[in-house]
Amino acid sequence: MTSTTRTTGPLDAAPAASTTAPGTTAPAPAAANLSAPSAATPPSPGAVRPEPGERIDVTALGRLLDGRWWQLRRRARDLALDPDLQKIEGLPMAEHRERVLRQLRTLVAQGEVLRAFPVALGGKDDPGGNIAGFEELVVADPSLQIKGGVQWGLFGSAVLHLGNAEHHARLLPGIMDLTVPGCFAMTEIGHGSDVASIATTATYDAGTEEFVLHTPIAAARKEYIGNAALHGRAAVVFAQLITRGVNHGVHALYVTLRGDGADGAPVLLPGVHAEDDGVKGGLNGIDNGRLWFDHVRVPRANLLNRYGEVTADGTYSSPIENPGRRFFTMLGTLVQGRVSLSGAAVTASKMALDIAVRYGLERRQFTGADETGEVVLLDYQQHQRRLLPLLARTYAAAFAQAELLERFHDVFSGAHDTDADRQDLETQAAAAKPLTTWLALDALQEAREACGGAGFIAENRLAGLRQDMDVYVTFEGDNNVLLQLVGKRLLTDYGKSMAKIDIAGAARYVAARAADMTLHRTPLRRAAQSIHDTGSRARAAGHLRAADTQRELLEDRVEAMVAEIAGALRSRHASPVEAAAVFNAHQHELIEAARAHAELLQWEAFTAALARVRDPRTREVLTTLRDLFGLTLVEKNLAWYLMNGRISAQRAKTVTSYVDRLLVRLRPHAGDLVAAFGYTPAHLRATIATGAEGQRQHEAREYFRRLRAAGLEPVNEKELHASQQRSGLATPAE
């Protein structure tokens, strides 16, 4: 690759028109050409960029990343250019909350938040496009994205998907136009992600045709509820539905929380209690609070009864007879929360890396071979190690998110809406959300550190985004709980595949599996690899570079882990207590298998995207980025591959050395790869991403160059001492 690069100056200095100060209303420039020198910062030694003709197609790549709803995504992204929608760092909590509420009204006025609702009510019946737009609201303010998600993605969506036509006509208009700000009251302080065990009750009173909603214990208080502290006038409340002495499990009711006080301000209704959660670690534009109920009466007509109805006399019926399946079907209709959080996390990761790479292409630190010129940060191998694998993970997550969004749209638009489709969507969302939200925290933290002290300054956004994104890993399902759900699905599918094998087939499978384990747990396979690779690192690297090899390594790890866990859990004679203990003993392994499965899904999505790239050079660079993603996954889990005989020690060494080679190949394209995200300095609103650092560096280099040219630069003491020693003028004592 060295033949296709040459030295040049800072790659990333934005044109002067792009350096609009945060909060101004100047028009957004086009995506910056980050790999070409700018007029503001002339070329100088210290960095590399592609030769002419070696550039990737940034425009086409950006379109590929933005996916099917690219126009809606960019329209929503550009809403962030409106100063009235932008987060003001350091704003007091009370002011931030009121500002975000006003911002929601702006979104309503612009028609940006209703795409998922029925056309008959003023929506677009476009669930996929709706979420694509919501993901980009993170660019403006994560509090805006989440508060909008609470109002329309949770509160409104619950009425839409759990209610009937009468509920839609009566309740949705006020939700859609924000006349009725609302809450999604599911989580309880005592149960968290264990929704099936919530303790709030809704007991039917046939005499009045009302449900009596009650919080019997402190652990049943609804907690962390958006809009609960101040703004919420109604809520969809989840409770155990009890009628005629039978608990029919968790159902949802529409409950009015607040009415108008004497001054028109909302006041809590009798029996409804609320407290403010106060200052949080982030997302302080949302008025989170706790709710509880003291025998509040709710009309029977407010039971959202798509999956469970109670007649006037208290008779219960449901189209889904099995209570467990009914529960998961109800919750499955609300999967869009996880889908949108996953997409928002990808957006935050893109922003973090865009800021850090822009800065890393301009900031210089320490002299290298050239004693008069400092080295660009991104030319250091460790800096590449810090940022480029995260860039590869972000691309993989973006392509996987696009596939998830397509599946979500197919289910919720009715194009492919079977029970199997919904189960697959739930599993895919449960696999995606942990990886993308953890990625966002990793990317934001590493980007912050990679930008040094500048990254810690509020105006550069990384610290604030990190605070706001922190809670994404635990709401809408704690990440480890979600991965356990994925792991259970993997075990279920494994069990079904084994159940289809007859006795003879099962015997063959067991024998084959035993032979496989014997092969991998002995030196035979490793020895074969070593012989194949002897004397040639290129041969070993070529093997690892092959897509089929990467797929085999990633797939084999998932399959082997699931099979091993299934074998440990297959004790037919264990009591329930023993079975629970065995499962708990393998919980960590199950979650790791689920994580490996989710990573495989991302690798496959990245690989599938390569086929849609027309420009050969762009496809070549993206393939290199895919290889970096795949091989860093292998590198991260080298201990497993070595202990389980999947890879030889020699080939294991090649993994790390080849990853380092991939970093060198990708370094010239780093600017273009983040430019494809489509964010301009006006979107990022980080001073260090405006080209200001490049201008400072250029000014400094020019200053010292002029000093040297004029002979005015002071003599360096170390150089003077060395010169005296060479000329014999210095004494030993000196």
Question: What is the set of active-site residues?
Answer: 476
* Whether 645 contacts 525, CB under 8 Å: yes
**Rounded CA separation 93/86 (Å):** 15
**Diameter of the chain measured on Cα atoms:** 110
Contacts of residue 443, defined as CB under 8 A and 6 or more positions apart, other chains included, come to 348, 349, 352, 353, 390, 393, 394
380: how many CB neighbours lie within 10 A of its CB? 15
**Rounded CA separation 75/79 (Å):** 7
* Whether 78 contacts 110, CB under 8 Å: no
Distances (CA, A) of 517 to 137, 520, 646: 49, 5, 10
Distances (CA, A) of 300 to 136, 158, 309: 39, 17, 9
**Rounded CA separation 93/90 (Å):** 9
Concatenating the DSSP letter of every residue in 545-572 gives: HSHHHHHHHHHHHHHHHHHHHHHHH--T
**Rounded CA separation 482/431 (Å):** 7
Evaluated on CA atoms 146, 438, 79, 340, the torsion sign reads negative
DSSP 546: S
Structure tokens at 703: 């200053």
* Whether 64 contacts 40, CB under 8 Å: no
Please name the residue ranges forming H helices in 53-176: 58-66, 70-79, 93-109, 127-135, 142-148, 156-162, 165-176
Residue with tokens 């006038």: 233
Phi-psi region of 502 (alpha: psi -120 to 50; beta: other; left: phi over 0): beta
Please name the residue ranges forming H helices in 611-691: 616-636, 638-643, 649-666, 670-675, 681-684
Paired strand residues for 364: 376
Instruction: Please name which of 138, 95, 567, 53 lies closest in space to residue 351, comparing C-alpha atoms.
Output: 138
Instruction: Please name which of 113, 83, 195, 101 lies closest in space to residue 144, comparing C-alpha atoms.
Output: 101
Torsion angles phi and psi, residue 426, rounded to 5: -60, -45
Please name the residue ranges forming H helices in 290-380: 323-332, 336-360
Distances (CA, A) of 129 to 126, 153, 237, 432, 508: 5, 13, 27, 19, 48
Interhelix angle for 576-585 vs 547-569, to 10°?
150
Concatenating the DSSP letter of every residue in 113-141 gives: S-TTS-GGGT----HHHHHHHHHGGGGT-
Find the length of the chain: 734
231: how many CB neighbours lie within 10 A of its CB? 24
**Rounded CA separation 728/460 (Å):** 53
